[in-house]
Amino acid sequence: MFEAVAPRYDRMNRILSVGLDQGWRRAALRELDCAPGSRILDLCCGTGDLALLLPRGLRPVGCDLTPAMLEIAAAKATRHRVALPGVAGDAMRLPFANDAFDAAVVGFGIRNLPDLERGLDEIHRVLAPGGKLVILEFSRPENRAVRLGHGAWLRLAVPGLARLVASGGEPYDYLKDSILSFPDAGALARTLGGAGFSAVSYRHLALGTVAIHSGRRGRRTAPRDPAPEAENGQRTTTARGETEAARFSVSRSAARSTA
């Protein structure tokens, strides 16, 4: 599904958010407090919109399940003359070593994980002690009137706009369903706490339809599983997560060989 929608993904994001989505991303990134040179994991990075807004001097690595999305992210990074290495990988079993990143960001992707708790545990594993996680995600408005209006927008306008602009609404039926079924901001905050993140907080944007969550990884209290191995038996990362795939822009063949 995401392979099919990749070429029109950015355009539809702008239309369906009424042009507000980039502002939401900038607001989320203001929650980071990373020193220059910090390694940042952009998980479920899609076409790279979030990572490309990071301040210069940081070292982002994009990770996504869909090679077509990574190809677009790499092309955009080239146009912006910034480095955005990409790795095709599964959030349920991240191809990075323990403690590999100083911070992690997830923009509008955490609700797509098939197992939220397992995905958060993987993020916790690859973050260094004290590393910060920032999540930008759609949310359920607390105000009843706004919630009803938002639900109507998702059920009626989103699929219709998708069919009109993107020549097909099926992926956006999924978008509607995934937003409506995802836990509200308070429930997600509790899940983050249960996954071992401390100093968890959140705030709403856009009348409560979007939320920014943040939390920090505490010090490890028990040994973690080692980093996964590639099919050829070699580690996909070094001790600090310097992936082989992260040394060059991702092409479709390179991305698939990393997955």
Topology of domain 2-258, per CATH? Rossmann fold (3.40.50)
pLDDT at residue 238, rounded to an integer: 33
Predicted TM-score (pTM) of this structure: 0.84
Encode pLDDT of 41-83 as tens digits: 999 999 999 999 999 999 999 999 999 999 999 999 999 999 9
pLDDT at 165: 65
When pLDDT is cut at 50, 70 and 90, the band that residue 2 belongs to is: confident
Q: How confident is the model over 204-231, as a mean pLDDT? A: 74
Residue 224: is its pLDDT beyond 60?
no
Cα-to-chain-centroid distance, residue 144: 28
pLDDT value at 226 more than 50: no
**3-class DSSP state of 56:** strand
What confidence score (pLDDT) does residue 176 get?
85
Does residue 143 register a pLDDT over 70? Answer: yes
Alpha-carbon gap, residue 84 to 247, rounded angstroms: 9
Q: What is the DSSP string of 105-141?
A: EEES-GGG-SSHHHHHHHHHHHEEEEEEEEEEEE---
> How many C-alpha atoms does 199 have within 13 Å on its Cβ side?
11
Q: How do the domains of the chain map onto residue ranges?
A: 2-258
Q: CA-CA distances (angstroms) from residue 194 to 117, 120, 121, 186, 199?
A: 9, 10, 10, 13, 12
Q: How far apart are CA 163 and CA 214, in angstroms?
A: 35
The residue count for the chain: 259
